[in-house]
Each structure stands twice: as structure tokens, then as C-alpha cells.
Structure 1
Amino acid sequence: MKIFGDLNSGNCLKVKWVSEAVGLRFTWVDVDIMKGESRTPEFLAMNPAGQVPTVLFDDGRVLAQSNAIIRYFARGSRFIPADDFGAAMMDEWLFWEQYSHEPYIAGCRFQLVYLRRRPEELDPERVRRGYAALDRMDEHLRKTRFLLGESVSLADVALLAYTRLAPEGGFDLSRHAALCRWIGEAEQDLGVASQTA
């Protein structure tokens, strides 16, 4: 299978991490979104939403949306709780990540890294909501090693992808000791090189 993605994107990285962790064989196809490579007629024929990551399976089927992809790739693995309620709690975090975390943390990072804006140009409400997401995670992680307990789940994978890059979006993690501890332990568990803030 082929995974189309941009290695600067947290959404794409989490798909790559899970693929590697569960031992899937794949070919990575770099897509530069800033050059419009996800908007070509060929790419749009495969994924009309024009987004990465996108997976093209050997049989021609296509799957998009990072959390749907990692949920599919990780079935039967250590990353999905065996009990139904645990799996539902994992899904709760996955939905929260896309709705209440990624738009603010990744959105600010996109402004600074991709569009080369200055920190003072960031939308203050977006920054406020980004810190609210980081605060919620830090408070939760003061009580538990990983988001669902003592082992890494897809909830951790999904939220690690952009949380570890939050400083690139102008967020100061120094007041989030539990969150910083979790970042290091989750990176170690996944065999991901540590992100220097």
C-alpha cells in the first residue's frame, strides 16, 4: 500500500508511527501541501477532499482522515483497549483531539511555520483555546501515566503528534510538567526521536 503524506504534518506522522509500530509494509509518498500537490487532478481523483494523509491500498481502496486510518491500522493491536468501554474512552480522546486540540495547536503552528507569521499575529482566541487544551491534558496526566492508564493507546498517539510540536506554534510548555513527562514517555514507547522545544 501507499501512504501519501507530508512529514511536517502531525496528522501524517501519527499514521506513519502506527504503521511502523504494528509492522505494516508500505511505501511513503511525500506530498508537499504548500506546493499544491494534494490539489492536483490525480490526487483529487483519489481523495476528493484533497487532504493528507491518504492511504491507497493495493486493491484500489482509499482511506483518509488520520484518526480513521490509525483506528483501522491498529485493530487487534496493543493500541486499542480490549474492552468496549476502554475503546470508547479512546475514541472520546480521538474526537476531542480533532475538535478541541488540533484546530488550535496545529492551527497556530501552521501560521508560524508554514505561513511565516509572527507570534503577535496569532489570533488570541485560538491561542487561548490552545492553552485550554494543553491545560486539560496536563491536569489529566497528573493522575495517570498515559491518557487511558498505564499503557499507550491511539489516544496518546493522536495527541502526541501535535502536542510535541506545540512550541513551534508559540505555546510555552514549561508550566505543563505532567504533559512534558508524558511527551517524553510516549515518544520513547513509540520509538520516536525526541522533539526539542
Structure 2
Amino acid sequence: MKLYSMPSSGNSYKVRLLLALLGRNAEILDVEYQTDALDRAKADGRLPFGKAPVLELDDGRLLPESDAILCFLGAGTDFVPTDPYVHAQMLSWMFWEQNQHEGTVAVRAALSFYPQRRHLATPERMAELLTSGHANLQIMENRLADHDWLAGDNMTLADICLYGYTHTAGERGGFDMSRFPGINHWIQRISALPGYKGLNE
């Protein structure tokens, strides 16, 4: 398999993390934001939705969207619950991550991290994202304050999905992570897993 991956992106990272935790190999093709490699991948039709990550299967089929790739790679593994309710609970967190969490936590980090986007980081916009991002992190904290994992009693794809942008929310996004001890313990649990690889590994 090949993974077209944006090295700095939490969406691409969550796929690399799952591959590492599963001990599965894929050829990683870096297509960083605003690079010739990204332009070539788009021109060659390797990014059906115009962005990374995209998983290219051995038979050439292309699978875009990070959470769809997680579901594909996670099928039949311990990261996907067999109980129908817990499975649906996992998907609820994954849908919420893309619909709510990423649009605040990841966007604020991106406006700070990427020089090309800093002109969009007006004081008003950054303040709005800080407030809404803290509110979304609190939703996670409400669950993780008295549970080890987001869905059910074991780690699932939901944890990998939310870890992607949450673990750098303080460093990159300027969020006050001291407010969220449950999240911090959850981050420590994931980073201590066998096979774990960090964002820059």
C-alpha cells in the first residue's frame, strides 16, 4: 500500500498512527501543504478529493478521507467494537471530530502554524476559535474524566481519530490544556502504547 500523507497534518497522522499500532507497513509519500509533491499528486489524480491523506491499495484503488481510511484499516481489529451500540458510539465521536472538533482545535492550530495562513489569524477569529475549541475539548474531558477511552471500555478508532489534533492542541493551538486532566491522562495512555509513533516520527 501507499499512503499519500501530509506530514504536519493531524488527519494524515492518525492514519500513520493506526498503521504503526497495527504493525502494518505502507509506503509513505509526503505531500506537504504548498509543495511540488502535493501539486504532482493532484495532477496525477492520486488525491480524488484534492487533499491528503489518501490510501492507495495494492490493486491501485484509492481511498480518501482519514476516518474512512481508519475504518478500512481497522476492520476486524480490536480497535473496532463488535457490540453494535459501542460501535455506533465510536462512529459518533469520529463524526463529531470532523464536524466540530477539527473546525475549532485544528483550524486555530493551522492559523498559527502555517505561515501562509497567518493573515487569516485576526485577533477576533483567534479569540472565537479559542472559546469554541475549549468548549469542544471540555466535551472530551466530560467523558475522559471518568473513563479511560471515548467509546466503551477499550481503545477504539475514536481515540486514534481524536488524538490526531488533540495531542498538539496546547503546543500548536495555544489551548490551555491544564484545564483537562482527563484528556492529558488519555494522551499519556496512547503515547505509551506498544508501536506508538509520534507526529514527527
TM-score when scaled to structure 2?
A: 0.88
Worse-matched range after superposition: 130-139 or 120-129: 120-129
RMSD across aligned C-alpha pairs, in angstroms? 2.1
User: What secondary structure sits across from 1:140 in the alignment?
Assistant: helix
Structure 1 residue 38: Cα displacement: 2.8
Match of 1:162 in 2: 165
**Partner amino acid for 1:183?**
I
Q: After superposing the two structures, state which structure 1 stretch, 142-151 or 91-100, moved more.
A: 142-151
> 2:147 matched to which residue of 1?
144
Provide Cα deviations, 1:90-130, integer angstroms capped at 9, x if missing partner. Answer: 00000000011011111011000113737846432222211
The aligned counterpart of 2:102 is 102
Aligned length: 195
Q: Structure 1 vs Structure 2: percent identity of aligned residues?
A: 32
Unaligned segments of structure 2, at least 5 residues = none
Alignment of 1:130 with 2:133, yes or no, is yes
Quick one: which amino acid aligns to residue 147 of structure 2? T
Q: Does residue 179 of the first structure (1) align with residue 183 of the second (2)?
A: yes
The yes-or-no answer on 1:18 pairing with 2:18 is: yes
Give 1:153 deviation, angstroms.
0.6
| Residue matched to 1:77 | 77
Letter aligned with residue 64 of structure 2:
A
177-186 or 115-124, which moves further after superposition? Answer: 115-124
Asked whether the equivalents of residues 79 and 154 of structure 1 are also in contact (C-alpha less than 8 Å), the reply is yes
Q: Is the 8 A contact 1:67 1:94 kept in 2?
A: yes
Larger relative CO (CA 8 A, sep 6+): 1 or 2? Answer: 2
**In 2, Cα distance between the equivalents of 1:59 and 1:76?**
20
Q: Taking structure 1 as reference, are residues 190 and 170 closer, same or farther at Cα in structure 2, changes over 3 Å only?
A: farther
Question: How far apart, in 2, do the equivalents of 1:119 and 1:180 lie?
Answer: 29
For 2:197 and 2:56, how far apart are their aligned partners in 1?
27
Unpaired runs of at least 5, structure 1: none
Distance 1:176 1:54, change over 3 A: same
Q: Contact (CA 8 Å) 1:152, 1:189: kept in 2 or not?
A: no
> Displacement of 1:34 after TM fit?
2.5
**Whole-angstrom distance in 2 between the partners of 1:194 and 1:15:** 12
193 and 24 in structure 1: CA distance in 2 versus 1, 3 angstrom threshold:
closer
Letter in 1 for 2:80: I
Moved more, 180-189 or 65-74: 180-189
Q: Distance in 2 between matches of 1:186 and 1:165?
A: 13
Q: Under a length normalisation based on structure 1, what TM-score does the superposition of the two structures give?
A: 0.90
